[in-house]
């Protein structure tokens, strides 16, 4: 099999959300399957959109998901550097090559004139194409064009529109007419290249032979094809990835409708295994009925041709279900201690806002306590706390149907206040049971029902806002209010 070289090329404009991390996962899988390379390249040519710290966040996200790159930032390879802003002269050389071939020109037209052209075409109801307004400077000799090229003057491609056909691994055979090909900007007036030009230069220099990107680039592909042709280059394999849709509506998932960042899910207790599994299978499957895949299974079974060609809706409920599956699997494979240790590591990484020494202190207390807990039962009993409840959810429970809402409420409140009355030192399984049993004696309802009542109330406990720490216990998130006590103890300590 031919070795596939792919890349993930994000721009550092903010965090990576689940809508776009998939365009890192698929190329990664394709590359690894063939024994090829996965390259990470930072496309930071738009300085106005640059966000401080975004690159670090991208690296962190990819590492958490286990998508380690073979070349890229912090891992130089033959094509270094991997930041486009540091490759300025390379693009200018390539642009010069096109000028020499008579396929690019320096365009002195000012923005106001360009806007006039656009308005003119609009009123005439003809499609706006810049090549219809190509300036006379485009026909100058290469040396004259180069002498015209200076700071503040952009370089445009001199297109030769014609019908084009190409193959997309996901969408199949595609075609487009000349009306979508235009004199696109290659080098902006600030001397930096546009995406349209830079990605082609970089992909060839880095040996990329499979380009996976969102479908929004589909309509630009004819222009790219023209560029490849003008540069005597063989185009790579194209893989267009359909959008991930927001839970509501038909729009693609974006930050605007509150798409969470990948790291936010990490902080909420989602495991990287579950995230990778869910995202990979959102819009792809291997034709079998398997739902759970390890990373190596994904690498083995992945194939670009089986990527779905319509958008898929993001469903957090299924992610949560899958997370539960993975928790059970990892706990049984690695043991509970190791599992919790790892979960705590993730938390440590995510709670950057805390002081280092404070963090250490909290963690050492948690670790000490964890050591004294030998198994899952003890562990969950210890964390079995903070019984906030949602009456509406509870009335749906089949055990609790025979209770009226009022009855439920008073039962819950009684048991909760009884539990809360147990103080820190006596918070043991034995004491909990004793308290509950004494409650049971006072009620005529069956014990099983009351126990399940209390248990369910724990299941719906929300995340703890105070300490920002949530552990997922067997698929459910349990608030660690015992840890809150640790925290307040520390705060008192510091005063």
Partner RNA sequence: GGUUCCGUCGUCUAGUGGUCCAGGACGUCUGGUUCUCAUCCAGAAAAUCGCGGGUUCGACUCCCGCCGGAAUCACCA
- Cite the beta strand spans of 75-215 per DSSP E: 104-106, 155-157, 164-168, 172-176, 185-187, 210-214
> Which is closer to RNA, CB of 2 or CB of 251?
251
Residues 440 and 447 sit within 8 Å (Cβ to Cβ): yes
C-alpha pair distances (Å), 469 with each of 30, 264, 321, 324, 344 = 36, 12, 20, 18, 9
- In whole angstroms, the minimum distance from the beta carbon of 324 to RNA comes to 6
106 CB neighbour count, 10 Å cutoff: 22
> Which is closer to RNA, CB of 308 or CB of 374?
308
CA dihedral 349→350→356→362, nearest 10 degrees, is -100
Residues 10 and 39 sit within 8 Å (Cβ to Cβ): no
Residues 308 and 242 sit within 8 Å (Cβ to Cβ): yes
> Which is closer to RNA, CB of 417 or CB of 488?
417
- In whole angstroms, the minimum distance from the beta carbon of 158 to RNA comes to 15
> Which is closer to RNA, CB of 191 or CB of 207?
191
Q: How far apart are CA 245 and CA 251, in angstroms?
A: 6
> Which is closer to RNA, CB of 263 or CB of 385?
385
Question: How many residues are given for the chain?
Answer: 495
DSSP label at residue 213: E
> Which is closer to RNA, CB of 76 or CB of 315?
315
- For residue 358, the number of C-alpha atoms closer than 13 Å in the C-beta half-sphere is 15
Q: How far apart are CA 269 and CA 476, in angstroms?
A: 9
- In whole angstroms, the minimum distance from the beta carbon of 357 to RNA comes to 32
Residues 6+ apart with CB under 8 A from 481: 385, 386, 464
- In whole angstroms, the minimum distance from the beta carbon of 242 to RNA comes to 7
Residues 6+ apart with CB under 8 A from 455: none
Residues 450 and 440 sit within 8 Å (Cβ to Cβ): yes
> Which is closer to RNA, CB of 300 or CB of 429?
429
- In whole angstroms, the minimum distance from the beta carbon of 17 to RNA comes to 14
Helix count and strand count (H, E) for the chain = 19, 13
- In whole angstroms, the minimum distance from the beta carbon of 441 to RNA comes to 11
- In whole angstroms, the minimum distance from the beta carbon of 361 to RNA comes to 27
> Which is closer to RNA, CB of 9 or CB of 230?
9
- In whole angstroms, the minimum distance from the beta carbon of 218 to RNA comes to 5
């Amino acid at each position: 099999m031919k070795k596939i070289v792919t890349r993930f090329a994000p721009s550092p404009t903010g965090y990576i959300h689940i809508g776009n991390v998939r365009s890192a996962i698929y190329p990664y899988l394709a590359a690894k399957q063939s024994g090829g390379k996965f390259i990470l390249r930072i496309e930071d040519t738009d300085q106005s959109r640059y966000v401080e710290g975004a690159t670090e966040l991208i690296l962190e996200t990819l590492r958490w998901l286990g998508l380690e790159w073979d070349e890229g930032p912090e891992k130089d390879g033959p094509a270094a550097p991997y930041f486009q802003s540091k490759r300025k002269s390379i693009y200018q050389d390539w642009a010069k090559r096109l000028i020499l071939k008579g396929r690019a020109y320096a365009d002195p037209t000012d923005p106001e004139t360009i806007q006039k052209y656009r308005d003119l075409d609009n009123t005439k109801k003809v499609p706006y194409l810049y090549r219809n307004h190509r300036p006379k400077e485009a026909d100058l000799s290469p040396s004259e064009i180069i002498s015209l090229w200076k700071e503040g003057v952009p370089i445009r491609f001199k297109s030769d529109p014609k019908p084009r056909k190409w193959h997309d691994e996901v969408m199949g055979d595609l075609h487009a007419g000349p009306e979508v090909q235009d004199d696109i900007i290659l080098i902006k007036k600030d001397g930096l290249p546009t995406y349209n030009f830079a990605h082609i230069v970089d992909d060839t220099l880095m040996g990329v032979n499979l380009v996976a990107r969102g479908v929004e680039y589909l309509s630009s592909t004819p222009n790219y094809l023209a560029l490849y042709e003008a540069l005597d280059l063989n185009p790579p394999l194209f893989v267009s990835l359909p959008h991930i849709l927001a839970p509501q509506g038909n729009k693609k998932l974006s930050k605007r409708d509150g798409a969470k960042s990948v790291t936010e899910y990490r902080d909420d207790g989602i495991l990287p295994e579950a995230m990778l599994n869910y995202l990979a299978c959102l819009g792809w499957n291997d034709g079998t009925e398997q739902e759970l895949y390890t990373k190596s299974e994904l690498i083995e079974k992945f194939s670009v041709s089986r990527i779905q060609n319509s958008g898929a809706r993001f469903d957090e409920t299924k992610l949560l279900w899958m997370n539960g599956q993975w928790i059970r699997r990892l706990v049984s494979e690695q043991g509970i201690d190791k599992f919790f240790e790892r979960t705590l590591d993730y938390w440590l990484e995510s709670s950057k806002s805390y002081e280092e020494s404070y963090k250490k202190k909290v963690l050492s207390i948690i670790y000490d306590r964890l050591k004294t807990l030998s198994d899952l039962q003890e562990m969950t009993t210890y964390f079995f706390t903070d019984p906030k409840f949602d009456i509406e959810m509870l009335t749906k429970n089949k055990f609790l149907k025979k209770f009226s809402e009022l009855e439920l409420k008073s039962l819950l409140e009684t048991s909760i206040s009884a539990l809360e009355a147990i103080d820190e030192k006596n918070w043991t399984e034995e004491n909990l049971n004793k308290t509950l049993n004494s409650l049971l004696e006072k009620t005529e309802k069956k014990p099983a029902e009351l126990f399940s009542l209390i248990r369910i109330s724990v299941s719906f406990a929300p995340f703890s806002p105070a300490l920002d720490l949530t552990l997922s216990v067997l698929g459910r998130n349990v608030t660690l209010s015992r840890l809150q006590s640790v925290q307040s103890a520390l705060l008192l300590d510091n005063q």
